[in-house]
């Protein structure tokens, strides 16, 4: 079984590319084009993963999901959000009903509206 540490290694590579010259790598070119380009790629990869899931081919779904995860990590790095924060949030939610979680977020949002 593959080790999830690859995500942290990849995160370090993506962070290192933030200061790199645009022509030096694909990721550096994404950063140079700006956040909208990064977000567009996340959206495109999400659609491709959905299409692959509908198609039923496990290999294609695996590849498209890897692309989506990769571009999500680029997005997080672009916004200076550590992967560890996302994982901590998932851990916080573990064992909690999705319905309860959604209701708690909705209730918290009601207190901030004027």
Query: What is the DSSP secondary structure assignment for residue 18, as one 8-state letter?
Result: T
**What are the φ/ψ torsions at residue 85 (nearest 5 degrees)?**
-65, -40
Q: What pLDDT was estimated at residue 104?
A: 75
**Strands annotated E in 2-82:** none
pTM of the predicted protein model: 0.82
Q: How far apart are CA 81 and CA 18, in angstroms?
A: 13
- How confident is the chain (114 residues) per 10-residue block, as mean pLDDT? 88 95 96 97 98 94 97 98 96 82 75 58
What architecture (CATH level 2) is domain 13-81? Orthogonal Bundle (1.10)
Backbone angles phi, psi at 80, to 5 degrees: 60, 40
């Amino acid at each position: 079984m593959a080790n999830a540490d690859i995500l942290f290694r990849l995160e370090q590579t993506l962070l290192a590319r933030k200061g790199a010259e645009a022509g030096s790598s694909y990721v550096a070119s994404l950063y140079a084009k700006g956040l909208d380009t990064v977000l567009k790629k996340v959206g495109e990869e999400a659609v491709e993963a959905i299409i692959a899931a509908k198609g039923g081919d496990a290999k294609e779904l695996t590849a498209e999901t890897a692309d989506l995860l990769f571009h999500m990590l680029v997005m997080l790095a672009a916004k200076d959000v550590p992967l560890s924060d996302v994982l901590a949030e998932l851990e916080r939610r573990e064992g909690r009903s999705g319905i309860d979680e959604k209701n708690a977020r909705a209730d918290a949002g009601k207190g901030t509206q004027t």
